[in-house]
A and B are shown apart, each in its own frame.
Chain A
Amino acid sequence: EPEVTQTPSHQVTQMGQEVILRCVPISNHLYFYWYRQILGQKVEFLVSFYNNEISEKSEIFDDQFSVERPDGSNFTLKIRSTKLEDSAMYFCASFRDSTYNEQFFGPGTRLTVL
């Protein structure tokens, strides 16, 4: 069964460093999302992406964040200068079309900022 994959599973970085989190969505899906979950808190929407551009972004998704679909298969989330409060589990999700069907989530990348 097709699945969303994410790499790395765990990333440790120093504050102020740039990180890139990678996702490979399901191949025939058109809509892509990033969510995050700070330990002990709710899963929160960060950004949605369709047709090579951002569809919607949350207040969390400030200028330090960017997303890209560089090669037609990968979908990346970049954090330019990480802060301690960026430590969280980051989930990628993909979605086939616009009819509000099931969203499929990847296993997540645990980001630890020291």
Chain B
Amino acid sequence: KQEVTQIPAALSVPEGENLVLNCSFTDSAIYNLQWFRQDPGKGLTSLLLIQSSQREQTSGRLNASLDKSSGRSTLYIAASQPGDSATYLCAVFLYGNKLVFGAGTILRVKS
């Protein structure tokens, strides 16, 4: 059974810092991987999708990498801002487009 783990569970950083969020999955037989942002009490906003054949994907200050063989993905946030404060979720695609989610990393960026 696929399990997705995210480390750290919570992170507090000063504004401007670069940071890395980690995601690991137990079964490397995934199709794609998607990173989401969730604000408190709100829905899931897609940040980046990494195809299984890709190593990384970039959008603005965000860069996500994928290493299927080792079962890891990282989300790099450059020059963090208070508006980046949210929970970041990693999810892997299984057969049938079903997503399996990690528990998330709660990020707080202090001004």
Contacts and interface: CB of A to CB of B under 8 A. Distances in A.
Q: Report whether over half of chain A's contact residues are helix, strand or loop; otherwise say mixed.
A: strand
A107 B89 CA distance: 15
B104 to A, nearest CB: 8
A56 B49 contact: no
Nearest to B49: A102
A107 B43 contact: yes
B99 A102 contact: no
Interface of B is mostly: strand
Interface residues of A toward B: which range? 20 to 34
Given A42-B102, A42-B103, A100 B97 contact: yes
B61 interface: no
B76 interface: no
B97 A105 contact: no
Nearest to B104: A42
6 contacts: A43-B91, A91-B44, A93-B99, A102-B49, A107-B43, A108-B43
